[in-house]
Amino acid sequence: MQTQEEFIYFPEKQLFGFGSGERLFLYNSADFSIMQEFIDAHAGKYIFTCLSYDLKNAIEDLTSEHADTVVFPLVVLWVPGYVVDISTFSFLQGEETTENRSVAIGFYEKIISEESFECKNTIHFEPRISRETYINLVNKVKQEIQLGNCYELNYCQEFYAQQVTSLDTFSLFRTMYRQIKAPFSVYMQLEDWSVMCFSPERYIQKVGSRLLSQPIKGTIRRGKDIEEDAQLKETLLADKKELSENVMITDLVRNDFSRIAKKGSVEVLHLCELQTFETLHHLVSTIVCEIDPSVTLERILQASFPMGSMTGAPKVRVMQLIEKYEAFRRGLYAGSIGVIFPNGDFDFNVIIRSLLYNKEKEIVSCSVGSAITMKSDPEKEYEECFVKVQKILQFFG
């Protein structure tokens, strides 16, 4: 296979983008007018899009002061020279040549390779904060809730490994994806960054005049057999804390959509619907609305980003508290990766359950979080985070 230094791959959409092309990188500040100009200038093309959580600072009067370990750009808009439907080797963007078709076939052969990832060097992950510190900070968040400063806050922590000089990131992604099979997974290799995302959650989708968001709140593991699996489903559907979290975030998304929707069009299609994934059961709500053709992506992001499932409610206040109590800069984590299609439709995920690798800085970051409410037990929340991160880090031995 011809080596592709930069490429992006969406397994569920079977989209493979590669080759040099126009791109926009924004680092320290985001100008939405510049972003919209780039999108308009490349109308009719596939535009792969990365939005870091800290884009919030360009939407609200907020800051991010914590150290940034991965140092991923604030915004990336990328129009690869070639986009291929890897299931049929159809070139959707860029001219098909013998060489480019060979690249696509070679990449497909790499996808179906049965070789599993092997961690050749010892990679030790450390938590950014200790268990004791985590429990103390979550208790402080609960105090904020008791004082009426917020209702729910998605509190996150980072696990990281340093001096990682060599990592076969795509082999790792392929091995993990086969076990997790999350519907909004994506792999991206761009300059010094590798993104391995196994997200089950959709942030926002546009199809014609319809917007759709599907926040997840409520999680339980799969059972070891059919009987246990059924019992765990019932347990999740009866969990008042999980149901309450989901309802609060659904209401937040409804409010976000109402800022840009046609009057009376915001609707909750499904509330706390139980959906089963490869390794977990989730409660997923589906909110839709209709928008006018004049509503741009710029306006949609300003109304709805970051996604409520990764902040809490009320959104602006909890983002201030997140900055106060978390010990790392989220960066790309809790942001979004997606694609803008040639017809102007788009589909963006929520970046969770992910590994972010900066080859130059030799660091791998894996962040994890959970929703904190008055009913939260800090020790159980920590254990939940540890279980989530363990499912990813187990691949390192």
Q: Which pLDDT tens digit goes with each residue over 56-89?
A: 999 999 999 998 999 999 999 999 999 999 999 9
- In the set 152, 158, 201, 242, the catalytic residue is 201
In contact, 73 and 27? CB cutoff 8 Å: yes
pLDDT at 2: 37
| Six-digit token string for 250 | 């659904």
CB 313, CB 372: distance < 8 Å:
no
What's the confidence (pLDDT) of residue 4?
53
Q: Is the Cα dihedral 37, 43, 47, 49 positive or negative? A: positive
**Which residues touch 181 (CB under 8 Å, ≥6 apart)?**
277, 278
Residues in the chain with pLDDT values less than 70: 1-4, 397
Which pLDDT belongs to residue 119? Answer: 77
Q: How many CA atoms lie within 13 A of 160 on its CB side?
A: 23
Residues whose CB falls within 8 Å of the CB of residue 227, separated by 6 or more in sequence, listed in order: none
d(CA 204, CA 213): 5
Model pLDDT, residue 336 = 98
3-state secondary structure of 275: strand
CB 356 within 8 A of CB 329: no
> What pLDDT, on a 0 to 100 scale, did the predictor assign at position 3?
40
CA–CA separation, 336 and 352 (whole Å): 9
Identified catalytic residue from 45, 56, 217, 391? 217
Neighbours of 145 (CB within 10 A): 20
* Residue 144 falls in the annotated catalytic set: no
Strand partners, 26: 75
201 belongs to the catalytic site: yes
Q: How far apart are CA 307 and CA 56, in angstroms?
A: 10
Neighbours of 87 (CB within 10 A): 11
CATH 3.60.120.10 fits 7-114+123-396, yes or no: yes
The β-bridge partners of 51 are: 75, 336
CA atoms within 13 A on the CB side of 349: 26
* Cβ atoms within 10 Å, residue 178: 12
